[in-house]
Amino acid sequence: MARSISMEAAGLTLAFLILTFLTISAASSTNQIQILNAERRIDLSSHIVKVFLTLKVENVMTAPASEIVLAFPPAQADHLALVKAQAAIGKKKKKKSYVHLDVNPTELRDAPNGTKYFSISLLNPLSSGETATLEVLYILTHSLKPFPAEISQSESQLVYFRDSALILSPYHVKQQTTFLKTPSTKVESFTRVEPTKFAGRELKYGPYEDRPPYSFSPITEHYKLVHAGARHKGVFSRVEYQSRPSFSGTSSFKHLLASLPPRVHSVYYRDDIGNISSSHLRSDYRKSELEIEPRYPLFGGWKATFVIGYGLPLEDFLFESPDGKRYLNFSFGCPLAETVVDKLTIKVVLPEGSKDPSAAVPFPVEQRLETKYSYLDVVGRTVLVLEKKNVVPEHITPFQGDLHFP
């Protein structure tokens, strides 16, 4: 998939490519922190798994503690798209406020093989006996596996989710509870680690008390979820699909919704064959939405390649500062709703002669420069390239490019 934007002085092209990114920092000893209570809520209502983790921590040593370390098992390390944290300030629920905390990859000595760690920097060091409450959000992609791996056109889509009833932590945990929110009330099966309770769309594990560091208890979930990607087996019958829409093709999808900037024009939607007419554009001064329909319904394992293109008024995104510098303000991420992008590349093509562009993005990305040649170019056009792996909707946020035009 690709998204391209026509501009008079600069062009943008988005394509989904490959990126590997890693940063490492050091972590302090973990024996000075104890988790008094951990509450984990896992939202399985979408193919993008969101986990909300509330931690109440205490410094049990005499030296101040300036960070809290999160641990993720190897099975989740490669699927981890985003980790965010904030601190709760205030004792009363209605008067509580939250402050963003820095989160960075780190390492621990003598850690279990394959475990991935993140360090949360506290606003103020915890003194001996002092407590703090942290709210953590982390997002997992490709964590719902089709079960079975292949289904026929008329079969329902099942997937399973695998995790632990206990959080993986380098700290002693006094008490912990895990809640799983399922997409429906129908759960085919689940692992019981007593106490376990299932009611409505919520599965509860715990509370569990006094668990030592690195306690781990795997669980498995089986439940019904549409569009989870089991490969389609057998032949596709267009007649059956159209004559029995309620029974045939229940695991397929036909429509995609792309959120575009306001004031778009000259919108097109095409693939390798040519223009695709099955699209609808809704636009106003606040936003534009493009509903597109591929040439065929997409079942599990099927792929579609297409291009969305449009033009934009340059003055909406390119600005000049009082000192004469120009900068670009545009959105990072994929315009398709609820989409996981394994590898994302954004290219900002500048006029010939531009020098030393850079971008400010509120999360780690890889940046590099390329040169693009077009008609009548002599030295070529500078291209600012941004790359990131495992992009989710929460990554859709403005970024600024510092541009130096001739």
Task: Find the CATH number of the domain harbouring 44.
Answer: 2.60.40.1730
Residues 259 and 393 reside in one and the same domain = yes
* Single-letter amino acid, residue 132: A
In a domain, 27, yes or no: no
Share of the chain above pLDDT 70, in %: 77
Place of tokens 């929460």: 394
Residue 300: pLDDT band by 50, 70, 90 thresholds? low
In a domain, 305, yes or no: yes
Residues 137 and 92 reside in one and the same domain = yes
The long-range contacts involving 288-293, CB below 8 angstroms and separated by at least 24 positions, are 288/259, 288/260, 288/261, 288/262, 288/263, 288/264, 289/257, 289/258, 289/259, 289/260, 290/257, 290/258, 290/260, 291/255, 291/256, 291/257, 291/258, 292/255, 292/256, 292/257, 292/258, 293/254, 293/255, 293/256
Residues 164 and 302 reside in one and the same domain = no
In a domain, 234, yes or no: no
For 207, the domain range is: 33-224
Residues 16 and 37 reside in one and the same domain = no
Residue 140's pLDDT is what?
Answer: 94
In a domain, 271, yes or no: yes
State how many domains the chain has.
2
Residues 361 and 339 reside in one and the same domain = yes
Q: Is residue 379 pLDDT above 60, yes or no?
A: yes
In a domain, 181, yes or no: yes
Q: pLDDT for 48-80, tens place per residue?
A: 999 999 999 999 998 999 999 999 988 888 899
Residues 10 and 47 reside in one and the same domain = no
Task: Return the minimum-mean-pLDDT range out of 97-111, 160-174, 288-302.
Answer: 288-302
Residues 53 and 86 reside in one and the same domain = yes
Last residue of a domain, which of 203, 224, 245? 224
Q: pLDDT for 263-291, tens place per residue?
A: 887 787 777 777 766 778 888 778 888 88
Residue 254's pLDDT is what?
Answer: 65
Last residue of a domain, which of 206, 224, 242? 224
Residues 267 and 336 reside in one and the same domain = yes
Could you give the CA distance from residue 164 to residue 162 in angstroms, rounded to a whole number?
7
Could you give the CA distance from residue 225 to residue 190 in angstroms, rounded to a whole number?
15
Residues 61 and 208 reside in one and the same domain = yes
| Average pLDDT over the chain, rounded to an integer | 78
Q: Is residue 247 pLDDT above 50, yes or no?
A: no
In a domain, 49, yes or no: yes
Structure tokens at 366: 């890889």
Structure tokens at 138: 């982390």
Residues 193 and 307 reside in one and the same domain = no
Q: pLDDT for 2-41, tens place per residue?
A: 333 322 222 222 332 222 222 333 334 568 899 999 999 9
Last residue of a domain, which of 224, 242, 274? 224
Residues 383 and 330 reside in one and the same domain = yes
Residue 46's pLDDT is what?
Answer: 87
In a domain, 278, yes or no: yes
In a domain, 262, yes or no: yes
Residues 205 and 325 reside in one and the same domain = no
